[in-house]
Amino acid sequence: MKGAYVLVLTLIAISVLLGVYLYPRMPEQMASHWNAQGQVDGYTSKFWGLFLMPLLVFVLFLFFLIIPRLDPLKANIEKFRRYYEGFVVLATVFFLYMHVLTILWSLGVSFDLNQALVPAMGLLFFAAGVMLDHAKRNWFIGIRTPWTLSSDEVWTKTHRLGGKLFRLSGLVAMLGIFFPQHSLLFVLVPVLLAAAYTTLYSYLEYGKVTNGIK
């Protein structure tokens, strides 16, 4: 557990030090937002451009750190703790990767941001699927519907399906690399469908469980 959190804090520290080192070289206004076509449509000062993301990641890390302590079902979280912490590390890498892309863009490096993000998002979805596959019932992590939270059986069935669907969504998202004009569709559509279907599935399974249907 400590190793994962030390790694996260080390990555955040590296990001901050990178910002300090590059501060004199950065333009006064840095790109901060891109539209669906990969064109910049928002800017921010170089201070926030360099340090806002590490700050947000640190706050997110604190949230991830507190969750297992707050959950009334914390004993269940311990059962899949290493998968949870692995996802926290990967999520940290993902956000800091976005930060590096922003810095490179502001330094004049030309690339398609959407294409650069596609494989990273696909990997993040896949990792989420792995975590879901091992998640036990709790109040903060996983597919939390009224029906999964009310039944261990419904939780387990829904998360086994959800794990498969999110891993598949990650693989489909990566295919967006080969279709630059539609890459966001490859990223968003599968994961939204997976989320919607698992929600419906949990409702239907809960009906079966409460009615004694196998």
- Model-level pTM? 0.90
Place of tokens 């969750």: 67
The rounded distance, in Å, linking the Cα atoms of 147 and 158 is 10
Mean pLDDT of the chain: 92
Coarse DSSP helix, strand, coil percentages of the chain, rounded to the nearest 5 percent: 75, 5, 20
Tell how many helices (H) and how many strands (E) occur in the chain.
7, 2
- Over the stretch 146-201, which tens digit does the pLDDT of each residue have? 999 999 999 999 999 999 999 999 999 999 999 888 888 999 999 999 999 999 99
What is the per-residue pLDDT for 213?
A: 60
- Provide the sign of the torsion angle of the four alpha carbons 118, 121, 125, 126, taken in this order: positive
Q: How confident is the model at residue 1 (pLDDT cuts 50, 70, 90)?
A: low
CA nearest neighbour of 158 among 195, 116, 126, 201: 201
pLDDT at 123 over 90: yes
